[in-house]
Chain A
């Protein structure tokens, strides 16, 4: 892909699992919006491969580390 290529504005992901959250096996964690079924399958596989889990609770960084002027 290159700068200026047409893009499909309708596709994307909605991700509801947040950092530090406990997720059950099989829980709904988000949505894939894709142009066709093959793209949706690819996306779901990539998402599940990218998702990592910890054994216990994790710290969530603060939203704002600081303001500077």
Chain B
């Protein structure tokens, strides 16, 4: 390829043409190899934002991103493997409870998680608040743990889709983030690079989410599903509300304590409802259980303590103190100062505080980074 070929690709997209798969793949490869510089890549991304990418173009971009790194397979597992991913929101602790509930019902949850940015930190940060717990499992360790315990939540390696971090940093710097095809490619490249039997996506919509309206969230859901189909991978997407945090807790140790409370059957709010809904969908797709029956199974897995037991075993397998499942605050780090917040007005709360309030976090649990998309978790 010559520099003028890459410029031709950008010019074609600028003029609204549809690019061939190999043009897109060559361009992305060129960027990752340093043959295409940031200015041309930024122009390309802006052309994509303004002109759009059709399903084939988006799939080509996703494939090129996957090809930038390693892929993960779990060949030794005999039960269906499920991956669950949320496009991010405030206090989304669903994964912490989804994994043990699903594992207790005969599914294998092999969850590779990114380092979140954000308001709450990601699932990894939450788990790592349990003393001793490690998330740097190798693929072999992860597979062994999933075979034995039914679930594992580990950090994705930096060599899993390195293109995503590079492209996201450039998009963040060039006002090219809000594009559904580009977001779908970012989300799905990392899901498709890990070979599981079912991909479950929770696309959030609302004031606390990246997609502000259900209509936009449905567009993103459909774009992600088209990529899954293109890659021959079964997937289901729930478009769910994030106009307020799902649970009560926003933090890391606080989220773990809330997850334990939920698994002890003490929490009956939206967090539990959503975790149950995702487990039921996984049971329906992978084990052929009717949805009503599957929902009942998930509820019973919580109420019987089976899911809590899986959580305990997962924590222990990853080196964490299993007593967190019995008495979370005997194990978790407590803040030095705990204060009650009293309302200074009266009225109906149309906008509960989540994200805006979170920005204070001095040395708190939020991080800012330019290379992690807001839809990781």
Mark interface residues in B125-141 (1 if CB within 8 Å of A CB, else 0).
Answer: 10011000000000000
Chain B residue numbers with a CB within 8 Å of A1 are 366-368
Chain A residue numbers with a CB within 8 Å of B366 are 1, 7
Mark interface residues in A15-40 (1 if CB within 8 Å of B CB, else 0).
Answer: 11111111111111111111111011
Contacting residue for B241 out of A33, A65, A67, CB 8 A: A65
> From residue B189, how far is it (CB to closest CB) to chain A in Å?
19
Tell whether, in the assembled complex, residue A61 and residue B206 are in contact, meaning their CB atoms are under 8 Å apart. yes
In the complex, residue of chain A having the shortest beta-carbon distance to the beta carbon of B240: A64
| Given known A-B contacts A11-B365, A19-B352, A53-B348, A24 and B281 have beta carbons under 8 A apart | no
Chain A residue numbers with a CB within 8 Å of B251 are 9-14, 33
Q: Which of B258-303 contact A (CB under 8 A)?
A: 270, 273-274, 277, 281
Tell whether, in the assembled complex, residue B357 and residue A18 are in contact, meaning their CB atoms are under 8 Å apart. no
In the complex, residue of chain B having the shortest beta-carbon distance to the beta carbon of A33: B335
Total contacting residues, chain A, CB less than 8 A: 64
| Given known A-B contacts A28-B342, A50-B357, A67-B281, A9 and B225 have beta carbons under 8 A apart | no
Q: Which of A37-69 contact B (CB under 8 A)?
A: 37, 39-40, 42-44, 46-58, 60-69
> From residue A1, how far is it (CB to closest CB) to chain B in Å?
5
> From residue B138, how far is it (CB to closest CB) to chain A in Å?
20
Tell whether, in the assembled complex, residue B353 and residue A25 are in contact, meaning their CB atoms are under 8 Å apart. no
Q: Does B69 sit at the interface, judged by CB under 8 A?
A: no
Q: Which of B336-372 contact A (CB under 8 A)?
A: 336-354, 356-369, 371-372
5 A-B pairs in the complex with CB atoms less than 8 angstroms apart: A2-B368, A8-B363, A20-B349, A29-B342, A63-B273
**18 additional A-B residue pairs with CB within 8 Å, beyond A12-B254, A24-B346, A39-B363:** A2-B368, A3-B372, A4-B367, A5-B367, A10-B334, A11-B251, A12-B365, A15-B354, A21-B349, A24-B343, A27-B343, A33-B254, A34-B335, A44-B339, A51-B343, A58-B349, A66-B239, A67-B237
